[in-house]
Amino acid sequence: MARLILITGGARSGKSSYALGVAEKISKKKIFIATCPHLDSEMSERVRRHTEERKGRGWQTIEEETELANLFPEKVQDADVVLIDCITLWVNNILYKSGEDNIDDYAISKLCSLWLEKTAEYSGTVICVTNEVGMGVVPENRLARKYRDLVGTCNQLIGKIADEVALVSCGIPLAIKK
């Protein structure tokens, strides 16, 4: 059964850098699962910067925007640690591809639970990076509120079964669950 670590925080809080450091302390055999779509030049630049941060550090990268469950355990079995960055974009991608009227809390719960069941079959450590999107202002439009709620649902599901949960704020990790 996989050891599961959830790392959350606000945008630009340092959670991805912290997650890389945690993973690198675990093993040299590691896989980075990137969920970020290349939607425009700004997003492609973000991907480039994240890729550059991992360069020369021994990471194998798999780009997968929506089908996380299909990766576990077979496609990651040669690694001791898998880092998924990030769950927030995974939810975004599912919402975008499904259409806002075709995904709700029930549907995202089923997808997240399926992925978590498959993850449990993996024998290494899985580190998930996600954003804490529910701590700010209530979004002014329906789609943004739906997105916030879907991310919150996934974060709760992952957090409940995670072995460890850390909140990163201002580059400082705070243990929520150890």
Distance, CA of 102 to CA of 104 (rounded, Å):
7
Ranges of beta strands (E only) in 35-79 are 59-63
Decide if 73 contacts 122 (C-beta within 8 A): yes
Distance, CA of 9 to CA of 87 (rounded, Å):
12
Buried b (16+ CB within 10 A) or exposed e, 26-51: beeebbbbbbbbeeeeeeeeeeeebe
Beta-carbon contacts of 166 under 8 Å, excluding residues fewer than 6 positions away, are 5, 6, 7, 8, 18, 173, 174, 175, 176
What letter does residue 81 receive in the DSSP assignment?
E
Annotated catalytic residue: which of 50, 75, 118, 148? 50
How many of the other CB atoms lie within 10 Å of CB of 17? 13
38 an active-site residue? no
Decide if 37 contacts 6 (C-beta within 8 A): no
Instruction: List the catalytic residues.
Output: 50
